[in-house]
Structure 1
Amino acid sequence: MAVYIVFDVETPNRSNDRMSAIGISAIKDNKIVANYFSLVDPETHFDYFNTKLTGIDADKVKGAPNFAELWKKIDPIMSKGILVAHNAVFNMSVLRACLRDYGISWKPTAKYLCMVRIGRRVLPDMKHNLNVMCDHYGIALDHHQADSDSHACAEILLRYIESGIDVREYVKEYKL
C-alpha cells in the first residue's frame, strides 16, 4: 500500500514563492492517519487579495516559524510518501521555491499526484475546483484554509481509491 502525503499551501502574495500556511493529511492503508497544520512566517509582504482570500496577514503569522524552521518539523512527514495536492503544479512550485530560497537541499525529484488531473480523467463532465468536488462528494470544506483544503483533498483521493481507480497510474515526477 502506498503512503500519500496530501498537502495544501496558502501564499501571502501574487509571487507564489512563499507560504503563509500549510496543511498536511497523511494517508496510509487507505485511511487518513494524521493531520498537521501550521501558519508560516513568509518573511515577505502580504497582498490584499491573498489576505482577503485566506484571512492570513502579517499579524496572524507573528511568532509562526519561517519555512526553514517549519521544514525541520515537516521534512519527516513530507519524505514518507507520494505527495498529493489538488492543484499539484501550484503547490509543488511553492514548495520548490521555498526549498530553493531557504537553501534547503531535499531531493532532486518528488513523486506526486495532481487531484485535478485525475479528476479530469475520471469525471470528465465536471468542474474540478476543490469546492465543486467537495460538494459532489459531500465533504465539508472551509475553502482556502490549508488544513481544511488538504483534508478535503485527502477525502477525495480516498473516494477515488474506494471506487476502484488505480491512482498510481497518475503518479508523476516533479523536479525540485
Structure 2
Amino acid sequence: MPLPGGAFRFIALDVETACGDSASICQIGLACVRADHSIQTWSTLIDPQMPFAPFNIELHGIGPDTVRGAPTFAGVWPDLLPLLARHPLVQHSRFDEHAIAAACRAHGLPRARLSWNNSVSIARVAWPELKGNGGHGLGNLKTVLDLDFRHHDAEEDARAAAQVVLRAEQRLADTPGKASAVLAPFQLSLPL
C-alpha cells in the first residue's frame, strides 16, 4: 500500500518490536489526521533482522514467519522520513521515539530530526480523573473513551493515539486557555 500523501494536521505513529531490544521494530503504523479530522492509516511489517522473543510474539502475534520477505527498517525509513519530517508526530508514551532512534542507530542511518509529541501528556490534562483510576495507557483509554481498536497492532494503536488527541481537543474546547497551553507545544489547534 502506498504511503499516505498530502498535508496532515499531525501523524500518530506506533511501532511493535520483536524483542526487548528497542531497535527490533517489526511493524510500523501511521494514522494521518487531516484538517477535517478524518484519519488515513497505513502500516508495514518490518524484518527486524533480530530474533523474536516469545513474549513479544504472544503480545502482538508477529513472528519470523510473519515478516518473511518484509523490508528491513533501512529499506523503509528513507521513504517514510520525508512524510514524517514535515508533520508533527504523536506517540502514546515515549517508546516509539526511542525505538525509531535505536533502529536508526542500529542500521547506521542519520538521526532524524522529528517533532515528537506524547498523547499520554495530552490525555493527562484532558482526563485528570484517570490518574490512579486505571491511568492513561491505551488499554484504559480504550474502555473509558469507548475506542474500538485491536491493541498491540501498530496501525490500530496509531489510530487510537490519534483519536485520543482528537477527543482531548473536544473535551478541552470549553477551556480555551487550558487547551492552548496543552496543545500549543504539539502544533495542533482547535477547529474554529
Q: TM-score if structure 1 supplies the norm length? A: 0.88
Q: Paired residue for 1:124? A: 128
For the pair 1:81 / 2:87, whether they are aligned, the reply is: yes
Contact 1:24 1:151 in 2 (8 A): yes
Q: For structure 1, which segment, 161-170 or 68-77, has the greater mean C-alpha deviation from structure 2 after superposition?
A: 161-170
For the pair 1:100 / 2:105, whether they are aligned, the reply is: yes
The unaligned stretches of length 5 or more in structure 1 are none
Q: Paired residue for 1:6? A: 12
In structure 1, what is the Cα distance between the partners aligned to 2:105 and 2:142? 33
Equivalent residue for 1:110, pick from 114, 129, 133: 114
Contact 1:67 1:98 in 2 (8 A): yes
Amino acid at match of 1:39: L
In structure 2, what is the Cα distance between the partners aligned to 1:154 and 1:101? 28
In structure 1, what is the Cα distance between the partners aligned to 2:97 and 2:62? 20
Give the greater-gyration-radius structure (CA).
2
Report the CA distance between 1:2 and its aligned residue. 7.1
In structure 1, what is the Cα distance between the partners aligned to 2:170 and 2:35? 12
Contact 1:6 1:25 in 2 (8 A): yes
Q: Paired residue for 1:44? A: 50
For the pair 1:90 / 2:95, whether they are aligned, the reply is: yes
Large movers: runs of 4+ above 4 Å = none
Report the CA distance between 1:170 and its aligned residue. 4.1
Report the CA distance between 1:132 and its aligned residue. 1.2
SS at match of 1:168: helix
Report the CA distance between 1:32 and its aligned residue. 3.2
Q: Taking CA–CA contacts closer than 8 Å with sequence separation of 6 or more, which of the two structures ends up with the larger relative contact order?
A: 1
Quick one: structure 1 residues 26 and 156, their matched pair in 2 at CA, closer, same or farther if it must change by over 3 Å? same
Contact 1:84 1:112 in 2 (8 A): yes
For the pair 1:68 / 2:74, whether they are aligned, the reply is: yes
Contact 1:13 1:46 in 2 (8 A): yes
Amino acid at match of 2:21: S
Amino acid at match of 1:125: E
In structure 2, what is the Cα distance between the partners aligned to 1:66 and 1:43? 7
Q: How many residues align?
A: 170
SS at match of 1:84: strand
In structure 2, what is the Cα distance between the partners aligned to 1:141 and 1:33? 14
Quick one: structure 1 residues 106 and 28, their matched pair in 2 at CA, closer, same or farther if it must change by over 3 Å? farther
Aligned-pair identity in percent equals: 28
The unaligned stretches of length 5 or more in structure 2 are 1-6, 174-178, 188-192
In structure 2, what is the Cα distance between the partners aligned to 1:147 and 1:141? 9
Report the CA distance between 1:33 and its aligned residue. 4.2
Report the CA distance between 1:169 and its aligned residue. 3.2
Q: TM-score if structure 2 supplies the norm length? A: 0.81
Report the CA distance between 1:106 and its aligned residue. 4.9
Quick one: structure 1 residues 30 and 92, their matched pair in 2 at CA, closer, same or farther if it must change by over 3 Å? farther
Quick one: structure 1 residues 19 and 90, their matched pair in 2 at CA, closer, same or farther if it must change by over 3 Å? same
Contact 2:122 2:183 in 1 (8 A): no
